Amino acid sequence: MSQENYLRKLIKRFRMAEAKAVSTLFTQHFKLSASQSPTNEEDKAKMSNVPYSSALGSLMYNMDCTRPDLAHAMSVVSQFMANPGKAHWSAVRWMFKYLRGSLGTGLVYGGAEKGIEAKTLGYFDADFAAD
């Protein structure tokens, strides 16, 4: 099961169709915190035009249905739903770039019985979160 067509529409909707695809979901340069949220009214007004919650809702639907690999990243970016900043939005955009590069990824149930070659794909943190 994959939601390739849904993802294509989603990527187009959030204007990421021309973005360069990436192969990893989150990289070390994303150190998100509440201190990156806007503090003055001008920055808050700028971020109010960003479809942050809409993007997260769409990604959450995709995560629940066919992409459990998004779970950790979603838990991180969802923490800033009330007051997202530019860094938080950059992380969400990075998630769309990752999805763009992995459109055909999904879940396989009973693949061997149906003649589908299934590959197990996983990631681990080899440097223990740079610690």
Is the distance from CB of 93 to CB of 16 less than 8 angstroms? yes
What are phi and psi for residue 5, nearest 5 degrees? -65, -40
Q: Tell me how far apart the alpha carbons of residues 121 and 27 are, in angstroms, rounded to a whole number.
A: 17
**pLDDT for the residue 129:** 55
Q: Which residues contact 11 (CB under 8 A, 6 or more apart)?
A: 17, 19, 96, 99, 100
**pLDDT for the residue 118:** 64
Which of 7-11, 111-115, 126-130 tops mean pLDDT? 7-11
pLDDT at 116 over 80: no
Average pLDDT in the 11-31 region?
Answer: 86
Average pLDDT score, the chain: 84
Give 22-78 pLDDT, tens digit per residue. 988 876 677 898 999 999 999 888 898 999 999 999 999 988 888 888 888 899 999
Tell me the C-alpha to C-alpha distance, in Å, between residue 127 and each of 27, 99, 116, 130: 12, 24, 34, 5
User: pTM of the entire structure?
Assistant: 0.79
Provide the residue ranges of all domains of the chain, joining segments of one domain with +: 4-101
**Listed residue (29, 38, 33) closest to 94, CA to CA:** 29
pLDDT at 111 over 80: no
